[in-house]
Amino acid sequence: MLVAGIKSRPVYGGLDIDTHAKRHLFALEGEGALALIDQVKAAGPDFLRTADVLYVASGSKAEDHDRKLEKLGADTLWVAPTIPVLLNRFNVMLGQAKMGTRIYVAGTEGFIGQAMQVALNHGVDFNSIRTEHRGSEARRVQCVHCKGITDNVTTSPYTCSHCG
């Protein structure tokens, strides 16, 4: 399903916690931390005993999301300095994941896309990854004419900065 106004912008279903999962693996970027915090408020903290949380503050408006995540009491919390470092750790953890692990990704559209690609490379079904968009609406676009890439686009349609 796509958002009205920008035909190619996906709608993300949210992080709804799978109570039957044996393990939970979260990849969170910036305001994506709030998606997990909201789920703890809604579902209770019990699932966190079997949760691994990877977090990077990239693009976050608040400086204390990592402290809020730490207070939740997840089995493991790992705070990465950059998105590439987080994605590398996510890749390693997916390589070690066992059957019954549920994957959750929250953050900006670009981050969600990158993290989903890592999971897809491990053979994870696209539809089994729970995602939630949080943070900036800006996105990366590619011109259909010249194939030029432009970052931080917030309008639709957008006049290509490469070919006009």
The pLDDT tens digits for 116-150 are: 999 999 999 989 999 999 988 877 788 899 998 88
Measured CA to CA, the distance from residue 80 to residue 74 in angstroms comes to 16
On the 0-12 / 13-18 / 19+ scale of CB atoms within 10 A, 37 is: middle
**Would the CA dihedral through 60, 79, 91, 24 be positive or negative?**
negative
End-to-end CA distance of the chain: 29
Tell me the whole-structure pTM to 2 decimals: 0.85
Question: What one-letter code names the amino acid at 99?
Answer: M
Cα distance between residue 131 and residue 108, in whole Å: 10
Which pLDDT score, from 0 to 100, does residue 52 have?
A: 98
